[in-house]
Chain A
Amino acid sequence: MALSTDPVLTATTSPWQVVRLGTRLVVRLVRGAPWRFVLAVLGALLFTGAIVASAWVVGAATDDLIIPVLGAGQSVAGRLVPVVSLLLGVALWKAAGIVLRRGSATALQVTAQTDLRRELVRRLFGTSLRAYERHGVGDLLSTADVDTRQATFVLAPLPFAVGVMGLLVAAITVITATDPLLGTAALGLLLVVVAIDLRGAWLTFEGMEEAQRRRGRVAGVAHESFDGALTVTSLGREAQERDRFQAAAEHLRDQLIGVGRIWTGYRAVTEGLPSAGTIVILVLGSLRVVDGAISPGELVRVAYLLSLLVVPVRMIGYLFWDTSQSVAAWRRVARVLEEQDPVTHGRVLPAGSVAPAGITASEVTFSYDRDVPVLSDLELSITPGSTVAVVGPTGSGKSSLAVLLARLWDPDTGALHLDGRDLRSLAPGVLSTEVAYVAQDTFLFDDSVLGNVALGAPVDEAAVRDALRLANAEVFVEALPGGLDTPLGERGATLSGGQRQRLALARALVRRPRLLVLDDATSAVDPSVEARILRGLKRATRPSTVVVVAARRATILLADRIVFLEDGRVRAAGTHEELLASVEGYARLLEAYEQDAADRAEQQRRHRDQAQQRPHRDRPEGRRYPDDGSGAQGDRAETP
């Protein structure tokens, strides 16, 4: 759960800045389809015009129909039909305005949101992994989901708010024209309502931002605690976890109550104030009617207009609220969209060869975080067609070298050359046709097995089957309900880690890469299966240079050459025997198990000696062995 816990907008921004940034944001968002915005404003103006018109009709009906008929006892005569048709006409007019405004504003907002999301994905696809990692997957996901939506919130109330401004001007004009005194009073009233509303919106917004952060904390604790449930239960720490969660939940509760205190206060006042103002104006107006300055119908018109204004005027407060949210969200979106760390490409076209590729690295230094060098002055030359194992202790830079070879990252200094071509000089899309990289964690797409292995490459089913066979995945894929066409569901949740890795391997093999980079890519595969895969790879007829980051001895022994890394440098390179003989660190690493096994043998020998001297006290009699015949058959279900 990646709830953004960015610096709050309010901590760094004043209401005026919100207005300024909001304006700029609106211009940016509306740019794509200005006509939609114009239509929406038009709809809003249509609606507000109709409001004024309806007040006028009601006022006219009072003077010309209601008072003469009910007050003076005159006959209805032909006076009713015009009033009724005018009322119905104005209602239709209002309805049309609403549909036009809401329809256009929604289309505007949803389209802007869609465009932002499209832009975001395209920007990410073109940006370096350094920038990608800096933002973090969690934050990027929440930006793509929540922030793109919130950044466009401002577009929904904006057209209406513009219409309301028009309405205010029109209403004040109408009322002033009726009676200047009432006009001044009405103007004062509306300004006070808007001011209080805005103030309330800002204060509430501040509080809600804080609440949002506390909400993120609640979600964070829940996530962490449930993910770590095995640990929590195993160690019996449920009560401790409950207290932790309760503290977060109560922290949020207190903030919500605090915001509620402010919000309900402002809301009650802004709801009551128009009524109070209308009453003041009614009293003033009644006196004016008594003076003969205005007619009763004109007083009704003013009062009716004011009563219709109450709800729309609050739109300005909503607009401000939405703008604040949008500006805050936009900052997070803009951070990604304005990312200045693109992956650059050259124009060098494919080599046109299917032969194994050679790759060299010269004077390569590399770091994820500028302060912590991972690789320094690395020199490496891998001859075409060879199988090279990269070996080294944890943190020696093995995986980093692998991602540089596949150009997921670029080195800080120095260069890597594929058959003499600098990786950065290749035209877009060329590298991935020549180099395939398989990581330790497998990412599977919400697609069929076939789609996941092909992944857009122009390969047929037979090629996919071949690749699956080579990756030792054919048997379990066949056993899936739909074979190759089985949908894997999101992230392939139904497969085991080893099965996923084998699919990833097939995904690389089906491309017939000239260089295959395996970064501990069989770590979750059962050792026996791994041995089969590696032997198969070794036998395979497809030509390709293989670089394998190895953590198992068997993997290492399959290589023609070993590159031994230590502290981000190539400490030694050569055959297994050479390194074993000459490099102490390598020998230590490789011999760890053999040494251990030898120790065991020694220990067991001693145990046996002791056992001959005294009986085993920890071996009870009468132990029952289950019948192993029934269990053993088909034990290795995955063995063809």
Chain B
Amino acid sequence: MSRPQAHLVTAVRRAAVVAPSLTRGLWVTVLLAVLGTTGQVVVPVAIQQLLDVEVLAGTGDVQRIATIGGLALLAVVASVLATRAAMFRLLRAAAEGLAELRVATFAHVHRLSTLHLQSERRGSLVARVTSDIEVITQFVEWGGIGMLVGSAQLALVLVVMTVYDPLLAGLIALAGLLYALLLLAFQRVLRRLYDQVRERSAAALSALSEAISGLKTIRAYGAEARTLPRVDQALEGHRRAEIRAQLVGASMFSSAELFAGSLTAMVIAVGVLLQPGQLTAGRLIALLFLVTLFIEPIQLLVEVLNEAQTAAAGIRRVLGVLDAPVEVVDPVPGRQLPPGPLAVSLHDVWFAYPRDAASSTRGDPVLREVDLELPPGTRVAVVGETGSGKSTFVKLLTRLFDPTRGTIELSGVPLDQVAFASLRSRVISVPQEGFLFDASVADNIRYGAPGASDDEVAQACRELELDAWIAELPAGIHTQVGERGARLSAGERQLVALVRAWIARPDLLVLDEATSAVDPALEVRLRRAIERLTTGRTAITVAHRLSTAEAADEVLVFARGRVVERGRHADLVARGGVYSRLHADWAAGASGGRAGGDSRPVEDGRD
């Protein structure tokens, strides 16, 4: 019985360190709650007083009856005020504390490189700051108040019972304890049933969401006949599990009535048979009323204890995020990067991704002993097949995560010693999926340079020769892009991301297939603009189309995590290695391969 509670207490105590509002003034709240529950026992006490003192004694003193009534009313009003204050204080503490916890967790998540390492975990991280916090909020709102008021009521009722008759009070307490144990056992069964409900409910939802999100595919392939039975089956499974669990729940709930009935019968029987010394008729009747006040909190407390496990699990998950060590740390004191274009050097760099979300062990290395010196102002193209490690390579350069082995230096400063403020303003990368926020084009561009005026934004667009494109947008740079930029095409989103990077005026620009979705004709123009603009800056481009590589000062060819070739385009083609093969394939796709679809493409490149 104490275990889930203990978990909850430890979890809350730890959460309170992060979010002090959670427990601030808790003792005052508890005191008020105890005061508040007196309202509940006023009625039985008043009955006892009225019956024993006035009615049965036969005095019939109207004055005294009115006095008892008046005092009782006063007690009720006081208890209403105290209850109200206690409940509100608790709710406010929860709202404030959980807001603090939410923000702290959110801020911490952004410091975790996990976000970039395991994008599939993003959904669960969102859950940490939304649904997990909601679970805790709901628990505090319902369970916290229940626990507070319930235990206060239980204690008070027992005290009053003991005053009336210690023997009966002891018997009732004993019965209550047995009943609580019975309920706990019952709850375990119920919990299993509800686990099943949750499982089936999740299955039903995933079947539903598959049918809805996959609607176009289902329609295109006439797969309705396959899908509907699956949906129906999942829904039916959930329906059955839910009904079964609720029936058991109803039986458990109804046991309270059986218990109340038996307890009432027992109190009357013991009372009239044993007639303990001080027991009057009024006191016995008051005890009957107290019994009804005794059962509800037991039931409530057992339910709360049960739910406490869920809430404690929620808090633990949130704390788990807060406990996750920040791997990529802003160094203190950080060093500034020297002004001007940046040189890049890698020495024996290895990298492996974590095997899975739970463990800290790493999988097979995706980068192996990479050694590179790139002088300042070089324009580098990075090529390689999918999975060759080229994307990981550029992510390491912007320190989205640190290498598992080896060192990276920018103009002689080790990357992990560079202050974030300096690094993030001088080294800018543009990923393949340029993420846009639900705001205007201008605001999204400004994200790269907060405070930039509309003119500066327009200027940046002009420099990239994108003014014609901007002019075609419905509201120019003030066009709203919609959620995740949904109102723009994938190519247009990339354009915005590119301007956003450019307006930050980086000294090392990293483009990771940043224009892969852009219209071919536009891409050519864009690439020339980028080349013109990055003159005198270092630029590293993961090339989607090998025409980029043709123009680079240097081409790095990645294969299986290593740099297997490097040099100028023409030299590499002439060498007849990996690059020449890649290039031949690409060339066949980009401009040749007509002459009869059946012939093999020219394997040894074109020149």
Cα distance A485–B83 when bound, in Å? Answer: 61
Q: Which residues of B contact A303 (CB under 8 A)?
A: 43, 47, 289
Nearest chain A CB to B587 CB, angstrom units: 9
Residue A582 lies at the interface, judged by CB distance under 8 Å to chain B: no
Residue A333 lies at the interface, judged by CB distance under 8 Å to chain B: no
Cα distance A386–B262 when bound, in Å? Answer: 86
Contact at B577–A121, with CB atoms within 8 Å? no
Residue A337 lies at the interface, judged by CB distance under 8 Å to chain B: no
Which of chain B's residues has its CB closest to A551's CB?
Answer: B520
Instruction: Tell which of B69, B217, B369 touches A443, judged by Cβ atoms closer than 8 Å.
Output: B217
Interface string of B555-567 (1 = CB under 8 A from A): 0010111111110
Which of chain B's residues has its CB closest to A73's CB?
Answer: B275
Residue B65 lies at the interface, judged by CB distance under 8 Å to chain A: yes
> Taking each of A90, A592, A603, which has the highest tally of chain B beta carbons within 10 Å of its own beta carbon?
A592
Interface of A, secondary structure class, is helix
Interface residues of B in 72-128 (CB under 8 A from A): 72-73, 76-77, 79-81, 83-84, 87-88, 91-92, 95-96, 98-99, 102-103, 106-107, 109-111, 115-116, 120, 122, 125-126
Q: Which residues of A contact B378 (CB under 8 A)?
A: 618
Q: Which residues of A contact B553 (CB under 8 A)?
A: 618
Instruction: Tell which of A245, A304, A311, A625 touches B566, judged by Cβ atoms closer than 8 Å.
Output: A625
Residue A480 lies at the interface, judged by CB distance under 8 Å to chain B: no
Interface string of A406-446 (1 = CB under 8 A from B): 10100000000000000000000101110011010001011
Contact at A593–B520, with CB atoms within 8 Å? yes
Cα distance A625–B581 when bound, in Å? Answer: 19
Instruction: Tell which of A84, A101, A531, A625 touches B589, judged by Cβ atoms closer than 8 Å.
Output: A531
Residue A541 lies at the interface, judged by CB distance under 8 Å to chain B: no
Interface size on B, residues (CB 8 A): 188
Interface residues of B in 134-156 (CB under 8 A from A): 134, 137
Q: Which residues of B contact A279 (CB under 8 A)?
A: 42-43, 46, 69, 72-73, 76
Instruction: Tell which of A106, A493, A595 touches B246, judged by Cβ atoms closer than 8 Å.
Output: A106
Contact at A110–B91, with CB atoms within 8 Å? no
Instruction: Tell which of A235, A431, A443, A628 touches B447, judged by Cβ atoms closer than 8 Å.
Output: A235
> Taking each of A395, A498, A623, which has the highest tally of chain B beta carbons within 10 Å of its own beta carbon?
A623
Nearest chain A CB to B488 CB, angstrom units: 11
Interface string of B245-259 (1 = CB under 8 A from A): 011011101110110
Residue A612 lies at the interface, judged by CB distance under 8 Å to chain B: no
Which of chain A's residues has its CB closest to B72's CB?
Answer: A279
Contact at A257–B42, with CB atoms within 8 Å? no
Q: Which of B8-16, B302-310, B428-436 contacts A (4 or more CB under 8 A)?
A: B428-436
Residue A187 lies at the interface, judged by CB distance under 8 Å to chain B: no
Contact at B292–A308, with CB atoms within 8 Å? yes
Residue A78 lies at the interface, judged by CB distance under 8 Å to chain B: no
Q: Which residues of B contact A162 (CB under 8 A)?
A: none
Contact at B268–A87, with CB atoms within 8 Å? yes
Nearest chain A CB to B79 CB, angstrom units: 6
Q: Which residues of B contact A299 (CB under 8 A)?
A: 55
Q: Which residues of A contact B77 (CB under 8 A)?
A: 272, 276
Contact at A635–B593, with CB atoms within 8 Å? no
Q: Which residues of B contact A98 (CB under 8 A)?
A: 250, 253-254, 257
Contact at B222–A431, with CB atoms within 8 Å? yes
Cα distance A531–B589 when bound, in Å? Answer: 6
Cα distance A539–B597 when bound, in Å? Answer: 8
Which of chain A's residues has its CB closest to B242's CB?
Answer: A110
Contact at A432–B220, with CB atoms within 8 Å? yes
Which of chain A's residues has its CB closest to B197's CB?
Answer: A110
Instruction: Tell which of B91, B205, B491, B561 touches A256, judged by Cβ atoms closer than 8 Å.
Output: B91
Contact at A267–B87, with CB atoms within 8 Å? yes
Residue B453 lies at the interface, judged by CB distance under 8 Å to chain A: no
Contact at A65–B215, with CB atoms within 8 Å? no
Contact at A626–B83, with CB atoms within 8 Å? no
Contact at A275–B76, with CB atoms within 8 Å? yes
Nearest chain A CB to B447 CB, angstrom units: 6
Q: Which residues of A contact B235 (CB under 8 A)?
A: 114, 117-118
Contact at A234–B563, with CB atoms within 8 Å? no
Contact at B72–A394, with CB atoms within 8 Å? no
Nearest chain B CB to A100 CB, angstrom units: 9
Given known A-B contacts A227-B435, A445-B214, A593-B547, A557 and B598 have beta carbons under 8 A apart: no
Instruction: Tell which of A226, A596, A603 touches B125, judged by Cβ atoms closer than 8 Å.
Output: A226
Contact at A226–B115, with CB atoms within 8 Å? yes
Contact at B524–A595, with CB atoms within 8 Å? yes
Residue A606 lies at the interface, judged by CB distance under 8 Å to chain B: no
Nearest chain B CB to A401 CB, angstrom units: 15
Q: Which residues of B contact A620 (CB under 8 A)?
A: 373, 375
Q: Which of A136-144, A355-363, A373-381 contacts B (4 or more CB under 8 A)?
A: A136-144
Cα distance A129–B217 when bound, in Å? Answer: 12
Given known A-B contacts A271-B80, A618-B377, A553 and B590 have beta carbons under 8 A apart: yes
Contact at A114–B50, with CB atoms within 8 Å? no
Contact at B589–A552, with CB atoms within 8 Å? yes
Q: Which residues of B contact A335 (CB under 8 A)?
A: none
Contact at A95–B562, with CB atoms within 8 Å? no
Residue B27 lies at the interface, judged by CB distance under 8 Å to chain A: no
Which of chain A's residues has its CB closest to B249's CB?
Answer: A102
Contact at B281–A62, with CB atoms within 8 Å? yes
Q: Which residues of B contact A558 (CB under 8 A)?
A: 597
Q: Which residues of B contact A101 (CB under 8 A)?
A: 250
Given known A-B contacts A102-B253, A557-B594, A253 and B232 have beta carbons under 8 A apart: no
Which of chain B's residues has its CB closest to A234's CB?
Answer: B429
Residue B129 lies at the interface, judged by CB distance under 8 Å to chain A: yes
Contact at B211–A235, with CB atoms within 8 Å? no
Given known A-B contacts A125-B218, A218-B130, A531 and B265 have beta carbons under 8 A apart: no
Residue B212 lies at the interface, judged by CB distance under 8 Å to chain A: yes
Residue A12 lies at the interface, judged by CB distance under 8 Å to chain B: no
Given known A-B contacts A106-B242, A236-B421, A620-B375, A457 and B91 have beta carbons under 8 A apart: no
Contact at A256–B95, with CB atoms within 8 Å? yes
Residue A353 lies at the interface, judged by CB distance under 8 Å to chain B: no
Residue A189 lies at the interface, judged by CB distance under 8 Å to chain B: no
Contact at A631–B110, with CB atoms within 8 Å? no
Cα distance A61–B386 when bound, in Å? Answer: 85
Given known A-B contacts A114-B238, A432-B220, A264 and B84 have beta carbons under 8 A apart: yes
Q: Which residues of A contact B364 (CB under 8 A)?
A: none
Given known A-B contacts A88-B261, A456-B221, A538 and B211 have beta carbons under 8 A apart: no
Cα distance A33–B280 when bound, in Å? Answer: 53
Given known A-B contacts A117-B208, A118-B231, A531-B589, A87 and B264 have beta carbons under 8 A apart: yes
Residue A232 lies at the interface, judged by CB distance under 8 Å to chain B: yes
Contact at A253–B95, with CB atoms within 8 Å? yes
Cα distance A192–B265 when bound, in Å? Answer: 33
Residue B420 lies at the interface, judged by CB distance under 8 Å to chain A: yes
Contact at A238–B585, with CB atoms within 8 Å? no
Instruction: Tell which of A99, A132, A245, A593 touches B254, judged by Cβ atoms closer than 8 Å.
Output: A99
Given known A-B contacts A62-B281, A257-B95, A597-B547, A235 and B504 have beta carbons under 8 A apart: yes
Contact at B220–A231, with CB atoms within 8 Å? no
Interface residues of A in 62-118 (CB under 8 A from B): 62, 65-67, 69-71, 76, 80, 83-84, 87-88, 90-92, 94-96, 98-99, 101-103, 106-107, 110-111, 113-114, 117-118
Cα distance A493–B500 when bound, in Å? Answer: 30
Contact at B110–A241, with CB atoms within 8 Å? yes
Q: Which residues of A contact B62 (CB under 8 A)?
A: 287, 290
Given known A-B contacts A125-B218, A230-B435, A632-B577, A272 and B547 have beta carbons under 8 A apart: no
Residue B17 lies at the interface, judged by CB distance under 8 Å to chain A: no
| A–B complex contacts, Cβ < 8 Å, 29 sampled | A70-B272, A87-B264, A98-B257, A102-B246, A106-B250, A121-B211, A121-B231, A124-B211, A129-B219, A222-B129, A226-B109, A235-B500, A236-B421, A242-B103, A250-B99, A260-B87, A290-B60, A296-B281, A303-B47, A528-B582, A592-B523, A593-B547, A595-B524, A596-B547, A626-B564, A628-B557, A628-B565, A631-B559, A635-B564
Known A99-B251, A224-B484, A490-B210; 13 more pairs at CB < 8 Å? A84-B265, A88-B265, A94-B254, A99-B250, A102-B250, A234-B398, A267-B87, A276-B77, A393-B521, A507-B221, A558-B597, A592-B520, A636-B581
